[in-house]
Amino acid sequence: MPYLLNTPDDKNEMLKSIGASSIDELFSNIPESVRLNRPLDIPKALTEIELSRHIARLANSNLSADSAVCFLGGGSYDHFIPAVVDMVASRSEFYTAYTPYQAEASQGSLQAFYEFQTMISQLTAMDISNSSLYEAGSGLAEAILMACRSQAGWVKFWLQNQFTPNTDSLS
């Protein structure tokens, strides 16, 4: 989005629309004791290319989750994600303008889950598979409920003790 400078006429029109005659009048309710009465101490402006290089240098001083041990969130761990995942997930049939948190539950997400679950079932020759929209605890509960519903009379499960601590506490 291009930056369009406000002309003096633009500023006067905005002030007039809110009932102020000047910037000083607009800020007149702010006590002098909390106002900054000196110019801001900021470096000179950079060109776009200079700023891009500066930001890249700053970003390179950070460690990413790929270059250090990652402790983000319960159940998050270092793992390999094949390049094809980004390619498939970026196809238009797998995303929409909606987020999964809206009531209509993103049709693109549902399509991706369906395709993934179908592929896993075919690859493993299993009758069912589960791909949860939520965190590990909800995913575990969904998997158990789905298995119960697929086999009439199942009410007990044995869970092998290889879960992350937060998921293990749910079992």
pLDDT tens digits for range 20-46 = 999 999 999 999 999 988 999 999 999
Residue type, 17: S
How many CA atoms does the CB half-sphere of 171 hold within 13 Å? 19
Whether 156 is in a domain gets the answer: yes
Q: What is the pLDDT of residues 92-147, one digit of tens each?
A: 766 655 555 555 556 667 777 888 889 989 999 988 888 776 667 777 788 888 87
In the predicted model, is pLDDT for residue 90 greater than 70? yes
Note whether residue 147 is domain-resident: yes
User: From the CB of residue 138, how many other CB atoms can be counted at a distance below 10 Å?
Assistant: 13
- Predicted pLDDT of residue 129: 83
Supply the pLDDT for residue 115.
Answer: 86
CB 95 within 8 A of CB 89: yes
Query: Is residue 158 assigned to a domain?
Result: yes
Give a yes or no: residue 14 inside a domain: no
Hey, CA dihedral for 58, 64, 68, 73, is it positive or negative? positive
Binned at pLDDT 50, 70 and 90, residue 5 comes out as: confident
Q: Confirm whether 151 is domain-assigned.
A: yes
Note the pLDDT of residue 34: 92
pLDDT above 90: residue 13: yes
Residue 152 covered by a domain: yes
DSSP 8-class letter at 32: G
Token code pair at residue 92: 């238009």
In a domain, 167, yes or no: yes
Cβ within 8 Å of residue 99, ≥6 positions away: 106
- For residue 100 the two structure tokens come to 């999964």
Query: What is residue 25's predicted lDDT score, i.e. its pLDDT?
Result: 93
Residue 96 is assigned to a structural domain of this protein: no
Distance CA 86, CA 52 (A): 25
Average pLDDT for the chain:
79
Task: Note down the domain range covering 146.
Answer: 133-171
- Amino acid identity, position 90: S
Q: What is the pTM (predicted TM-score) of this model? A: 0.35
**Which whole-number Å values give the CA distances from 98 to 92, 124, 131, in the listed order?**
13, 32, 19
In the chain, the number of structural domains is 1
Cβ(74)–Cβ(135) below 8 Å: yes
Task: Report which DSSP code applies to 7.
Answer: P
